[in-house]
Amino acid sequence: MSDGEPTASARSDLRRWRRAAVANRFESDAFFERLLRRHLADRFDDWVPRLRQVAEDSGARFGVWVAESNHEENLPVLRRHDADGRPTEEVVFHPSYHAVGRVFWASGVLSVLATPGCEVASGAIAYLLDQHGEAGHACPVACTAGAIKLLQKVGTNDQRERYLPSLLQTDYDQRLHAAQFVTEVQGGSDVGSNACLAFPEPGQPGWYRISGEKWFCSVADAGLFVVSARPADAPGGTGGLGLFLVPRVIDGRPNGFSLRRLKTKLGTRSMATGEVEFDGALGEAIGPLEHGFRNLVGIVLDTSRAHNAVAACGLMRRAYVEALRFAENRRAFERPIVDFPAVREILARMRVRTACALLTTFRILALTDRLAVGEAEDDLVATRRIAVMINKYWTSVASTLTVREAIEILGGNGTIEEFSVLPRLYRDAIVIESWEGTHNTLCAQVLRDFAVRRLHVPWLRQAKAEIDELTHAALAEQAARARELHADVAARIARVLASEPEQAAAHIRHVVDRMCRLTDFTVLVSQAQWDLDHGQDEAMIDVLEWYRRSAIDVVDPLDGGEWDALHLRVSVSA
């Protein structure tokens, strides 16, 4: 039976949607281009060919591979022994998984880290790749980046020479990729309760035999493990933890570890996460043992948290584009559904959340680059530390909300695995909310940093300095509102620090939320100023007004007759 005219027309609409949604993700993202022009400055043109190529390489065919590797029958499996019964502890992947990995590694997302000051560029590459979700390789890339920075900052010359060339490799089949094994079943966020032990190896200074369990080990197939363990004579708590590099294989055999099982996860399913038992694994200390926890949090987890935020941005952008293009091409009641005010309101929320996440995340990457090239003012170091934590929390929450709203726009179609990427993105978004520190853990760390290290002082000082740079006459009202917000946040921080410890712990998340609102509003005004100074259109003025009405000076929609027009202007600019 042939399709009737209405059915054929609807299917034609769906084909137009699919074509529009997979346009080159760099060339079709004008806002992202402006953001990169701002942060890369005179280096922007040098990076354009690579970014355009990454977007091309991670197009429709790449998406098919990612989807295929996530099918139930194609998920990774554990093969503990070879045909002759010898232990291998091997994780076996579907060929589509490796096809995706070759694109990730060839992109240079890791190799560019060999040169200081390339964090924005690396983040831009990751953002384009992450628009397919975690895709089985975003987490390995993040963990490998953490190992690279750990070696660059605290490794010995010998360690750097042995490991960095392979970690920076662009050839997927020749790469060395890393994992970080920290979590234990009794610990979780309470890392100080970790019980994995390290015993000096006789005759090999700096090398240890590591024994114990690790409960949540993502990238279980990694060739190099970054492992936290307590030297046998070290004190309890986080202060007694050391950090070690543990090769997966020594002399062709598994290095004193076994994989108990692979975990079946809600999302990030094509990436192998398992439980690992170490029984005399040979590893070498990386950095001073007494600084193990400091280096774990300050370098390794810090890197993963920044990558987590980039991934959230990628998920949000993809969800927004899928929803917008669908709304433009899907007809109901004889008109495209994008014409309905309720749909435009959802799209506006999605677009503004995505813009804020990109601006706050790439602000952090730009700060990282400034520090890497020697602009290491104390305020920048402290500001970045706090910014990474609150941004990881804020962007991951925004990501889940945004993908869920994209599913709403697609309706029942949005829940169908074969119809769109959105169900997989939603599962991945929920997973990245919990990775690298749950929301309460991150907020609690912010409170400790404020109460013990007084890092709120430089954070507020840096925030004020950035607000003081908002001098464009057309943005005077918004700059004044940002100053008021700053004063409000400063007062809230002072109040929570003056509270009893239990009360402070109960309310710090609300304070962090307000800090994030201040950051969002400031970066939006800052980008609007850059746009105006560089002859761009005034679209960010609308975004600013929408954000103020929705999140700062909340307006009852029934009291604001111009809301619908504002939704329209904000929602349809991809």
DSSP 506-539: HHHHHHHHHHHHHHHHHHHHHHHHHHHHTT--SH
Dihedral sign from CA coordinates of 328, 330, 336, 338: negative
Predicted confidence pLDDT, tens digits, the chain (574 residues):
455 677 888 888 888 878 877 778 999 999 999 999 999 999 999 999 999 999 999 999 999 999 999 999 999 999 999 999 999 999 999 999 999 999 999 999 999 999 999 999 999 999 999 999 999 999 999 999 999 999 999 999 999 999 999 999 999 999 999 999 999 998 778 898 999 999 999 999 999 999 999 999 999 999 999 999 999 999 999 999 999 999 999 999 999 999 999 999 999 999 999 999 999 999 999 999 999 999 999 999 999 999 999 999 999 999 999 999 999 999 999 899 999 999 999 999 999 999 999 999 999 999 999 999 987 777 899 999 999 999 999 999 999 999 999 999 999 999 999 999 999 999 999 999 999 889 999 999 999 999 999 999 999 999 999 999 999 999 999 999 999 999 999 999 999 999 999 999 999 999 999 999 999 999 999 999 999 999 988 889 999 999 999 999 988 888 766 777 888 889 876 5
Q: Does the CA dihedral 422-426-431-432 come out positive or negative?
A: positive
Query: In the structure encoding, which two tokens stand for residue 530, read together?
Result: 């850059």
SS3 of residue 91 by DSSP: strand
* Cα(10)–Cα(472) distance, integer angstroms: 48
Q: Has this prediction a pTM greater than 0.85?
A: yes
Q: Smallest Cα–Cα separation from 300: which of 386, 393, 179?
A: 179
Which CA distances in Å does 132 have to 20, 314, 501?
16, 8, 42
Task: List phi, psi (to 5°) of 87.
Answer: -65, 135
Handedness of CA 514, 309, 306, 526 (dihedral sign): negative
Give residue 4's pLDDT: 63
**What is the reported pLDDT for 1?**
42
Pinpoint the alpha helices (H) of 411-472.
422-434, 439-453, 456-468
The mean predicted confidence, pLDDT, of the chain is 95
The gap between the terminal CA atoms of the chain, to the nearest Å, is 39
pLDDT at site 11: 86
237 CB-side CA count, 13 A: 5
Q: List domains and CATH numbers for the chain.
A: 178-290 (2.40.110.20), 439-571 (no CATH)
**Among candidate residues 62, 21, 40, 33, the one with its CA nearest the CA of residue 320:** 21
Residue of 242, 190, 187 whose CA lies nearest to 214: 187
Q: What is the pLDDT of residues 299-321, one digit of tens each?
A: 999 999 999 999 999 999 999 99
358-370: string of b/e by CB count within 10 Å (b at 16+)? bbbbbbbbbbbbb
CA-angle at 451, arms to 448 and 456, nearest 5°: 95
